[in-house]
Structure 1
Amino acid sequence: MPTSTLHTQLLTFLSPSEIPADQAPFLLDQRKRYVSQNCLVVQPKSVENVQKIVRFCATNRIPITPQGGNTGTVGGSVAQSGIVLNVSKLNQIRNINLADNTITVDSGCILQNIQTAAAQVNRFFPLSLASEGSCQIGGNIATNAGGLNVLRYGTMRDLVMGLEIVLPNGEIVSHLPPLHKNTTAYELKHLFIGSEGTLGIITGATLKLFAPPQTIATAWIGVESIQAAVQLLSLVKNHFAERLCSFELISEFSLHISAQHSHITPPTQSAWHILLELTDSLKRDDLGDLLAEFLYQNHYENSVLAQSEQERQDLWTLRENISASQRALGANIKHDIAVPIVNVADFVANCSAELLQKYPEMQLVVFGHLGDGSLHYNTFLPVKNNDVYQYEDAINTVVYHHVIAQNGTIAAEHGIGSLKKHWLHTVRTPDEIALMRAIKAQLDPHGLFNPNKLLPSD
């Protein structure tokens, strides 16, 4: 195929320190834990070239690891051989359809660019992630990303109207027209949303757009317990209904390290904190007053309401900088888990008690999207960075035991990848895993697409 339409590099390294800075974005995962080896990085500039590459690899039994922005945290887009098929050069906005409230994009489009394109036509694309300046929509779809606005708008599974996918045989399945209803047999797009590149390569997507928020009310509330936070969530849902967009839980320690990192004074002093946001598509001057009155009447008086856009941004900076502020604590074992909202308090109490009994010097950073029951439950031990991983299986055993005891899941929004595949059996039955293997074998009989990811080894 013409070299003008394809960029390739043959890359072989053994450790993160050996990788040149300009090649690290393709080879090194975000947490600098996984390194691609013995692979060719390929960046096609058209869907047709994706098909040609896939057909060539299928004929020659060459493994393919699909890759977008490479912002994942579970080792899902690193390769041990074959090619890394990076879709970053497939990055065009194909169409904006205001009648159907949709935007059709290439899979390599950066999330923030999609948000901007929507805003330019007075529409809103609600997926919002800390990595939105670099993550790509194909990866967001392949991992069924969630983010800050799931409570109102849902996950990627709820935001995708249609997909264009290149299958492992090089053929293409395309259903991009914005059909709002379609009951013709199986809805195949849902096979690929959340499949982590193991069944096909997403090359295009049609996404839902919404009216942009015209009014925003943001509050930070200190609460004495998670139970009190859950009670507040129930009250807010009942009172403000669909206007509730975000409901974030933040522990005292998480706020402390973020405030230090961000040089922002904590808004409240309490054992736990809630950052909530209401939005309305209509301009109204009373939404903030209604929220203030609601909090006062329900005795949530340890609260701060943002009085300006700068104050709102400061509150969100405290939430979003928790991840960055953790780096000062050293390496850690992270957990991206979810349990039913009613069980969050019991999970945190029971799991934390057992971990601290076994590891008295452990520090816990707990925060996340209480509005949908998902938490970032991160553990830190006072050891050298890489030494922490010798404790990983033991710590995960404790955490996942308590997750399962509360009818939860070990992967809420980051996926399974390489990191968690050997834990999949704890949350999926043998019959479910067998069905997944059968689907994989039907679509990818030679196991070439993102091998050794998601499904546990036989």
Structure 2
Amino acid sequence: MPTATHLTRLRQILTPSEILTDNELIAPFCTDQRNRYLGQVFAVLQPHTVSSVQNILRYCQQQHIPVTPQGGNTGLCGGATPHASIAGKGIILSLSKLNRVRQLNLADNTITVEAGMILADVQAAARDANRYFPLSLASEGSCQIGGNIACNAGGLNVVRYGTMRDLVLGLEYVLADGELVSHLYPLHKNTSGYEMYQQIIGSEGTLAIITAATLKLFAPPQSVLTAWVGVENIHAATSLLSALKNHFAERLSSYELISQAALSLSASYSQLREPTSANWHILLELSDSLPAQDLTDPLISVLEQGNWLNTVVAQSENERQHLWTLRENISAAQHNLGASIKHDIVVPIEHVAEFVENCQQQLASTFPQTKTILFGHLGDGSLHYNVFIADIQSNDVYHYEDSINQLIYEQVLSHHGSIAAEHGIGQLKNQWLPRVRSSAEIKWMWAQKQYLDPQGILNPGKVLPPQA
């Protein structure tokens, strides 16, 4: 059926404000954050209601129209950009207009929000109710909660609160045929059969379109202590992590690893002084829901016992913000180095030091012109391992991507890790999925896909590798 006919039909089931067809308006939706992927669609649909989402999917399934769901478009793996195989044939389904708080439930400590709500707004809504929503990301001012769930985002507070999979208590989603599945009641226990919504979390829009979620809330931290520790190597950083977990248990909420190269880059970009002089750096945060808890003396005691004395403890909220700015600005500061080959990876914490040492040795030997900016969440073993190539600041750097990925990912796999920690697979890594998932798991994934999306209209070309 011609595109013009599709648009005519869509205008019959949607309001004019829910349809974008002008090329200039569509363009920003078709390019990913890194300018790594450029897609083509004949329309961007921005439904204002869940019933509109249902109507869109009913029509698209009937007409075999590919649907690329999109939240804040902050992903790094091309998961929200239309795949080249469907160029001009499909639509982008933007959830940004589904952005309301549906319910605040203080008895169950939950908030129910729609998928297009910006993460920072969810945090603010919780704060207004004297509660705390712990997911925290550098992109929290623009990423949307549906995308966070679809990629099972982790962020800065995973050590204490877990990933989005741990923070979702109920989910509402629309299947490819338009059927609505809604279980938003905050049940803290439910053992009645298989839990379908857990399969939707992390599926990157390939199984269903998330429209709303019920999220766990917590008591707001009232005592917070932030410290920056310089260490000689990652082995020392891992030992410190073990000591802190043993002493502070759940009060350790964040534990970030930062290389000296990453710190120097961010400090220059942020125009802030480097807190310590060391090969590696740790930014840690302790918190307690009770006010005026003495966290400083116990922390100093642990640091002194382990001879971790190269430490700066924030004495004010301003100093705390300076430390976090140095961590959060690393991503933005990297733009000054140009395009990079990014790796969002995870290995067991005990293997992080060996993994980094092996990778650095092999890169230096095989690609001596490369520079690595490494930082990440050592508290859960996930790292941002970004490789830059001297004198190449454009996307020409991707000519080296396959070879460098081969080197990095082989090390990840040899250390029992995974190629995706919190940004998902998208279209960037799906060819690697069979290396980290067994053939039985891949078959099960395809079986789920074929049952829930028999026409293959939901986010084609993403996550799953091509079938043999």
Are positions 1:36 and 2:45 aligned together?
A: no
Q: Aligned equivalents of 2:259 and 2:209: distance in 1?
A: 39
Asked if the contact 2:244/2:252 (under 8 Å) is kept, the reply is: yes
Residue-by-residue CA offset, 1:377-431 (whole Å, 9 max, x unaligned): 0100022412111100000000000000000000000000011111111101122
**Amino acid paired to 2:56:** I
Compute the TM-score of the two structures, normalised by the length of structure 1. Answer: 0.96
1:16 equivalent in structure 2? none
Residue-by-residue CA offset, 1:154-183 (whole Å, 9 max, x unaligned): 000000000001001100111000001110
Are positions 1:417 and 2:401 aligned together?
A: no
Match of 1:242 among 242, 250, 255: 250
1:314 equivalent in structure 2? 322
Asked if the contact 2:30/2:41 (under 8 Å) is kept, the reply is: no
Q: Give the Å deviation of 1:290.
A: 2.0
2:145 equivalent in structure 1? 137
Match of 2:442 among 403, 426, 433: 433
Q: Give the Å deviation of 1:361.
A: 1.9
Asked if the contact 1:10/1:38 (under 8 Å) is kept, the reply is: no
Q: Give the Å deviation of 1:303.
A: 0.2
Residue-by-residue CA offset, 1:427-448 (whole Å, 9 max, x unaligned): 0112211110011000001100
**Amino acid paired to 1:32:** N
Residues 335 and 11 of structure 1: CA distance in aligned 2, closer, same or farther (over 3 Å): farther
Residue-by-residue CA offset, 1:263-318 (whole Å, 9 max, x unaligned): 11100000000000000000125212221232123211100000000000000000
Q: Secondary structure at the match of 2:199?
A: helix
2:466 equivalent in structure 1? 457
1:15 equivalent in structure 2? none
1:368 equivalent in structure 2? 376
Q: Which runs of 5+ in 2 are unaligned?
A: 1-11
Asked if the contact 2:355/2:415 (under 8 Å) is kept, the reply is: yes
Q: Which runs of 5+ in 1 are unaligned?
A: 13-19
Q: Aligned equivalents of 1:348 and 1:194: distance in 2?
A: 27
Q: Secondary structure at the match of 1:299?
A: coil
Are positions 1:10 and 2:21 aligned together?
A: yes
Are positions 1:163 and 2:171 aligned together?
A: yes
2:306 equivalent in structure 1? 298
Residues 11 and 340 of structure 1: CA distance in aligned 2, closer, same or farther (over 3 Å): farther
Match of 1:70 among 73, 77, 99: 73
Q: Secondary structure at the match of 2:345?
A: strand
Q: Aligned equivalents of 2:406 and 2:78: distance in 1?
A: 20
**Amino acid paired to 2:398:** Y
Q: Secondary structure at the match of 2:18?
A: strand
Asked if the contact 2:135/2:154 (under 8 Å) is kept, the reply is: yes
Match of 1:405 among 397, 414, 419: 414
Residue-by-residue CA offset, 1:65-120 (whole Å, 9 max, x unaligned): 11111110100111233110001000000000000000001111000000000000
1:390 equivalent in structure 2? 399
Q: Aligned equivalents of 1:454 and 1:202: distance in 2?
A: 17
Q: Aligned equivalents of 2:19 and 2:94: distance in 1?
A: 10
Are positions 1:257 and 2:235 aligned together?
A: no
Greater alpha carbon shift after TM alignment, 24-33 vs 350-359? 24-33
Q: Give the Å deviation of 1:36.
A: 1.9
**Amino acid paired to 2:74:** T
1:115 equivalent in structure 2? 123
Q: Secondary structure at the match of 2:302?
A: helix
- 1:206-355 matches, cutoff 5 A: 206-355=214-363
Are positions 1:88 and 2:88 aligned together?
A: no
Count of residue pairs brought into register by the alignment: 450
Q: Aligned equivalents of 1:287 and 1:25: distance in 2?
A: 46
Asked if the contact 1:5/1:45 (under 8 Å) is kept, the reply is: no
Match of 2:109 among 98, 101, 107: 101
**Amino acid paired to 1:269:** S
Q: Aligned equivalents of 1:77 and 1:39: distance in 2?
A: 16
Q: Secondary structure at the match of 1:325?
A: helix
Q: Secondary structure at the match of 1:419?
A: coil
Compute the TM-score of the two structures, normalised by the length of structure 2. Answer: 0.94
Aligned CA RMSD, in angstroms, stands at 1.1
Q: Give the Å deviation of 1:125.
A: 0.3
Q: Secondary structure at the match of 2:123?
A: helix
1:17 equivalent in structure 2? none
Greater alpha carbon shift after TM alignment, 30-39 vs 93-102? 30-39
**Structure 1 residue runs of 4 or more that deviate by more than 3 Å after TM superposition:** 1-6, 22-25
Asked if the contact 1:25/1:70 (under 8 Å) is kept, the reply is: no
Are positions 1:51 and 2:43 aligned together?
A: no
Residue-by-residue CA offset, 1:21-62 (whole Å, 9 max, x unaligned): x54431211101111213310000000010001001111111
Q: Aligned equivalents of 1:119 and 1:24: distance in 2?
A: 35
Q: Aligned equivalents of 1:413 and 1:431: distance in 2?
A: 23
